[in-house]
Chains A and B, each alone.
Chain A
Amino acid sequence: MENSSSSSIVSTESEKNSVLNLKETELRLGLPGSDFLEKKAGTGISLFGKDLKDEGNNGFSQIPLKNLVSGAKRVFSDAIDGSGKWGFSMKGGSEVDLGNGGSENNNTLQSCLAGPSGKEIGNPNPAKPVEDKNNENNSTAPASKAQVVGWPPIRSFRKNTLATNLSKNNVVEGKSGLGCVYVKVSMDGAPYLRKIDLKTYCSYAELSSALEKMFSCFTIGQYAPHGLPGQEHLRENCLKDLLHGSEYVLTYEDKDSDWMLVGDVPWEMFTDSCKRLRIMKGSDATGLAPRAMQKCKSQS
């Protein structure tokens, strides 16, 4: 269904291409205004001048460029509904995730258009931004609105201070919209760290799955037999398997600056007290490691 609708829209767009001057759609570079206008003049359409001031169609000018792009816009917004999730897309560090928990969409047009943004772009209706983690977890929508990465535009320092203020004043009760809790995640041996928003996960399982995807590129070498992400084996609660296979332990630094093993306390308590995460080599976590194995086994 989705496949056919997207392909039909694509052909509509190419029909438009042929109806209008193909030159209109040529990807060309030029100085602002000049080349663009020249080419336009030939076809009797001008981007500037009186056409722009046309008051037809609700004040928006009728210009081929716009029509073409609105065709593309339709494709975009159609593709967003119910598309699959990118295997590589991260909830924490990147843009709003579409994830419907569905399988990866093989229709490349669809899936690649679906990638970047999780909401209907250009839709004049005041649509709420969509972050589908709730759908994924089959939980009910939170009382506060769903959050978009980096919006409203507030710096981390202020956000973290706000969160502390609100919790201190007990203003927020049961609201999950307390803001984001960005923590750094390091992995021994990896050349750079990542940052994730703990509030976008609801359980240890989700967290470990996300971390596995984020750091899989650093561990594939050690995990040769089952190497590639996306395979069944690696999809479910894979950090534990990763831990088994490559001797990593997930630890976190809590509010008292102690390094703790992830998984001991209830999830809420963990997100409230976690300051940063570290994927530690098992050999460094002497004493921790055997318990880690046991813990993992008991959690599965």
Chain B
Amino acid sequence: MAYSFPEEVLEYVFAFLSSDKDRNAVSLVCKSWYEIERWCRRRIFIGNCYAVSPQIVIRRFPEVSAVKIKGKPHFADFNLVPEGWGAYLYPWISAMARSYPWLEEIKLKRMVVTDESLELISKSFKNFKVLVLSSCEGFTTDGLASIAANCRNLRELDLKESEVEDLSGHWLSHFPDNFTSLVSLNMSCLGSEVSFSALERLVSRCPNLKTLRLNRAVPVEKLPSLLRRAPQLVEFGTGAYSAEIRTDIFSNLVEAFSGCKHLKSLSGFWDVVPAYLPAMYNVCSRITSLNLSYATVQSPDLVELISQCPNLKCLWVLDYIEDAGLKALSSYCKDLQELRVFPSDPYGAEPNVSLTEQGLVTVSAGCPKLQSVLYFCRQMSNAALIAIARNRPNLIRFRLCIIEPQAPDYLTLEPLDTGFGAIVEHCKQLRRLSLSGLLTDRVFEYIGTHAEKLEMLSIAFAGDSDLGLHYVLSGCESLRKLEIRDCPFGDKALLANAAKLETMRSLWMSSCSVSYGACKLLGQKMPRLNVEVIDERGPPDSRPETCPVEKLYVYRTVAGPRVDKPDFVWTMDEDAALRLS
């Protein structure tokens, strides 16, 4: 006699499972659990849009209300993926328009989104609520106008750093007069000016507006009017924060900011005139997140501001902060969890600011909760890295970019192997790591051995031989994403660890030494991987098999080879191998 809970009970229980990992585990228990789970999964995350097809997703999960899809590989952010590579949204939308009429949320990263897709979204999903387009491209402000005009229940419109063709600011005026549901609007990446009165009215009539990130075109003197209409704001991004200093503008700002008792996050500050920063001082005590990474303000002014923010958890800033400013940060902001320091002049031959490894060491010593670091600098030493590792074993993300490729330890001129080795050895929870500087195969030995929780690894201009790659692929149990550029890694390590690639989301290798022959072999042997050669020099079989390919992108998939490849991408599969050999 079979004992089992009624389906309804199981479904009720499964509803408490939010993590995909848990839901996936549950679906493996038995067929009936698989069936129950698939009918009640509402949120889908697709880490690689080519790992699965819209049809497969829809077939398995018939009642979905939220999708999150990622497209291009991460290195596309740095122009390493040629234009026209793929990651088109349209096929997804057209399939979901038919099958998920009650879809509420679409969150995308690095996908190509057209105005057509946006229009289809706005017309197909009656209860559409959330649209987040992170680092996307391919659409214009006309597409935004469709969303504004047709999505009556829209709550969130976030254009995070997408590349939008800015035809005009008129799109904002398409929000109907009776539209009041907006909770979050991020238009900071847009260039053109929206109608300010339309913006004012929009802000006035949306009582639940919590996040408002303006674009550069909104001048500082207009901010008080917006802030006064939205005192409930939690996250605010200014526009250009510059103007001739006028006492009336300044005092309006002070007053307007004081009215915002719930502000926790500030950003924007383009073209900031330092004299305007004090206008925010009376909200600083509640601020937990500060993005000053577009603010070209010098260290003393930054320190003034930061010293007012004892509850700061997240700081993004330019290297103008310098070591001195980071020292101040480490003494004022004991709650700091995330620090990102961006370069103000990355292409200059000489350093323009006094920011060194010392700044990061100081913060690692003074901020006990620091777990996430992105740091651009021009010099580093093993001693500093070891100190950081010992100070902060709780690091989860560590991304270091020493601006000069292959820069050695500036004190000893040795490779930085031991420094990064210390990081992976001490920081046992490390999930993400980006390497830079002079590195030999040895650092990969350390990483392969110690970085058990590492999920994403980025490597550039490092290593001596295949051994380096082999250490990583044969260790790093949790590795999901590996991206490599300009390293002498080649066929042997890749082929010897082919099976590992099925346990990962993807592998990117560009300007390495992987031969066309090896790619073909890999594609032949591993049918569940898409092995894609990206080569703008023409068909790979017009060159010898030993010839290295320009770029290689390998990912696991259940959808078979791509059907939408441009002419510079070749899939290495059985058919291709037979055809081309």
Q: Which residues of A are interface residues toward B (Cβ below 8 A)?
A: 25, 27-33, 35-36, 47, 52, 59-61, 63, 65-66, 68-70, 72-73, 76, 86-90, 93-96, 108-109, 112-113, 115-117, 119, 121-124, 126-129, 143-145, 147-158, 161-162, 165-166, 168-169, 171-172, 175, 177-180, 182, 184, 191-195, 197, 217
With both beta carbons as reference points, the residue of chain A lying nearest to B295 in the complex is identified as A165
Q: A72-B490, A153-B460, A179-B347 are in contact. List 17 more A-B contacts (CB 8 A).
A: A29-B499, A60-B440, A60-B464, A65-B466, A69-B488, A108-B547, A109-B546, A116-B548, A116-B550, A126-B438, A147-B347, A148-B486, A152-B401, A155-B77, A193-B84, A194-B82, A195-B79
Range, interface on chain B: 35 or more
Counting chain B CB atoms within 10 Å of each CB, which of A32, A63, A66, A172 scores highest? A32
Question: Do B161 and A157 have beta carbons less than 8 Å apart?
Answer: yes
Question: Do B78 and A153 have beta carbons less than 8 Å apart?
Answer: yes
A123 contacts across to B, CB distance below 8 A: 406
Q: In the complex the two chains form, what is the Cα distance from A35 to B495 in whole Å?
A: 11
Question: Do A93 and B270 have beta carbons less than 8 Å apart?
Answer: no
With both beta carbons as reference points, the residue of chain A lying nearest to B547 in the complex is identified as A112
Q: Decide: A145 near B349, CB < 8 A? Known: A27-B495, A86-B537.
A: yes
With both beta carbons as reference points, the residue of chain B lying nearest to A158 in the complex is identified as B342
Question: Which residue of the partner chain, among B83, B438, B492, B511, contacts A194 with CB atoms under 8 Å?
Answer: B83
Q: Decide: A76 near B488, CB < 8 A? Known: A152-B403, A179-B347.
A: yes
With both beta carbons as reference points, the residue of chain A lying nearest to B466 in the complex is identified as A69
B440 contacts across to A, CB distance below 8 A: 60, 124
Question: Do A150 and B463 have beta carbons less than 8 Å apart?
Answer: no
Q: How many whole Å from A14's CB to the nearest CB in chain B?
A: 12
B415 contacts across to A, CB distance below 8 A: 124
Q: In the complex the two chains form, what is the Cα distance from A172 to B346 in whole Å?
A: 12
Name the interface residues of B77-110: CB closer than 8 Å to any CB of A. Answer: 77-80, 82-84
| B33 contacts A by Cβ under 8 Å | no
Q: How many whole Å from A213's CB to the nearest CB in chain B?
A: 10
Q: In the complex the two chains form, what is the Cα distance from A61 to B467 in whole Å?
A: 10
A158 contacts across to B, CB distance below 8 A: 293-294, 342
Q: Decide: A89 near B346, CB < 8 A? Known: A116-B550, A155-B135, A155-B161.
A: no
Q: Decide: A121 near B345, CB < 8 A? Known: A93-B536, A112-B548, A168-B271.
A: no
With both beta carbons as reference points, the residue of chain A lying nearest to B347 in the complex is identified as A177
| B279 contacts A by Cβ under 8 Å | no
Question: Which residue of the partner chain, among B376, B490, B491, B525, contacts A152 with CB atoms under 8 Å?
Answer: B376
Q: Decide: A29 near B348, CB < 8 A? Known: A117-B511, A153-B401, A154-B342.
A: no
B566 contacts across to A, CB distance below 8 A: 191-192
Question: Do A65 and B78 have beta carbons less than 8 Å apart?
Answer: no
A29 contacts across to B, CB distance below 8 A: 495-496, 498-499, 521-522, 525-526
Q: In the complex the two chains form, what is the Cα distance from A94 to B79 in whole Å?
A: 8
B567 contacts across to A, CB distance below 8 A: 217
With both beta carbons as reference points, the residue of chain A lying nearest to B376 in the complex is identified as A152
Interface of B is mostly: loop
Q: In the complex the two chains form, what is the Cα distance from A165 to B473 in whole Å?
A: 42
Q: Which residues of B are interface residues toward A (Cβ below 8 A)?
A: 75, 77-80, 82-84, 135, 161, 163, 189, 270-271, 293-294, 296, 342-349, 352, 376, 401, 403-408, 415, 434, 438, 440-442, 445, 458, 460-461, 463-467, 470, 473-474, 485-488, 490-492, 495-500, 510-513, 517-518, 521-522, 525-526, 536-538, 543-544, 546-550, 566-567
Question: Do A73 and B488 have beta carbons less than 8 Å apart?
Answer: yes
Q: How many whole Å from B494's CB to the nearest CB in chain A?
A: 9
Q: In the complex the two chains form, what is the Cα distance from A73 to B404 in whole Å?
A: 22
Question: Do A109 and B544 have beta carbons less than 8 Å apart?
Answer: yes
With both beta carbons as reference points, the residue of chain A lying nearest to B475 in the complex is identified as A32
Question: Do A162 and B408 have beta carbons less than 8 Å apart?
Answer: no
A25 contacts across to B, CB distance below 8 A: 492
Closest 3 CB pairs of A and B: A192-B84, A112-B547, A150-B78
B83 contacts across to A, CB distance below 8 A: 93, 184, 192-195
Question: Which residue of the partner chain, among A61, A93, A143, A154, contacts B82 with CB atoms under 8 Å?
Answer: A93
Q: How many whole Å from B180's CB to the nearest CB in chain A?
A: 31
Q: In the complex the two chains form, what is the Cα distance from A129 to B403 in whole Å?
A: 11
Question: Do B486 and A119 have beta carbons less than 8 Å apart?
Answer: yes
Question: Do A32 and B347 have beta carbons less than 8 Å apart?
Answer: no
Q: Decide: A157 near B512, CB < 8 A? Known: A29-B525, A195-B83.
A: no
Q: In the complex the two chains form, what is the Cα distance from A121 to B406 in whole Å?
A: 10
Chosen A-B contacts, 27 in total, with CB atoms closer than 8 Å, are: A27-B492, A27-B495, A52-B445, A60-B441, A65-B465, A66-B467, A69-B467, A88-B536, A88-B537, A90-B536, A108-B543, A108-B547, A116-B548, A122-B464, A126-B408, A150-B75, A150-B80, A152-B343, A152-B401, A153-B434, A153-B458, A157-B189, A158-B293, A162-B344, A177-B348, A191-B566, A217-B567
Question: Do B442 and A161 have beta carbons less than 8 Å apart?
Answer: no
Question: Do A154 and B513 have beta carbons less than 8 Å apart?
Answer: no
Q: Decide: A66 near B464, CB < 8 A? Known: A27-B518, A119-B486, A162-B344.
A: yes
B546 contacts across to A, CB distance below 8 A: 109, 112
Question: Which residue of the partner chain, among B352, B401, B548, contacts A113 with CB atoms under 8 Å?
Answer: B548
With both beta carbons as reference points, the residue of chain B lying nearest to A86 in the complex is identified as B537
Q: In the complex the two chains form, what is the Cα distance from A63 to B160 in whole Å?
A: 48
Q: In the complex the two chains form, what is the Cα distance from A52 to B78 in whole Å?
A: 35
Question: Do A122 and B511 have beta carbons less than 8 Å apart?
Answer: no
Question: Which residue of the partner chain, among A116, A126, A179, contacts B404 with CB atoms under 8 Å?
Answer: A126
Q: In the complex the two chains form, what is the Cα distance from A169 to B352 in whole Å?
A: 14
Q: Decide: A27 near B521, CB < 8 A? Known: A66-B464, A115-B550, A217-B567.
A: yes
B344 contacts across to A, CB distance below 8 A: 162, 165
Question: Do A144 and B496 have beta carbons less than 8 Å apart?
Answer: no
A86 contacts across to B, CB distance below 8 A: 537
With both beta carbons as reference points, the residue of chain A lying nearest to B462 in the complex is identified as A122
Question: Do B79 and A32 have beta carbons less than 8 Å apart?
Answer: no
Question: Do A154 and B343 have beta carbons less than 8 Å apart?
Answer: yes
A76 contacts across to B, CB distance below 8 A: 488, 513
A217 contacts across to B, CB distance below 8 A: 567
Question: Which residue of the partner chain, among A113, A151, A166, contacts B547 with CB atoms under 8 Å?
Answer: A113
Question: Do B548 and A115 have beta carbons less than 8 Å apart?
Answer: yes
Question: Do B79 and A149 have beta carbons less than 8 Å apart?
Answer: yes
Q: How many whole Å from B383's CB to the nearest CB in chain A?
A: 18
